[in-house]
Amino acid sequence: MRLRVSLVNGLAPVIVMAVTFCVSACSRQTALPMATQASAARPIIVFMTDFGTANDAVAICRAVIYGIAPEVRITDITHQVTPYAIEEASRFLYAVTPYYPAGTVF
């Protein structure tokens, strides 16, 4: 339990900042087409990490995000990025970005 609390405390500022940006950015959109209004009602956060899937780190992060902003939709790119491999992560992000609507938080 102590590990879980310290992990959440360490990630909380980053998650809070992302969720705050998402909620504020989506709330400023006005006069959108119907298809876009549906996504504005439920902001999208795209999640990618180098945490791997062998532990509960991703699940904890998702739970914290839902606790802060329960209306968001969270979708995953991958959690198998090689640790600290910024170029690798940027390739993943570059490949998927065009398929998400405006206002998506990456």
pLDDT at 62: 97
In angstroms, the Cα distances linking 47 to 29, 34, 56, 74, 89 are 22, 25, 15, 7, 11
Pairing of strands 44-47, 73-76: parallel
Regions of the chain with pLDDT less than 70:
1-40
What is the distance, to the nearest Å, from the Cα of residue 95 to the centroid of all Cα atoms in its chain? 16
pLDDT at 41: 75
pLDDT at 77: 97
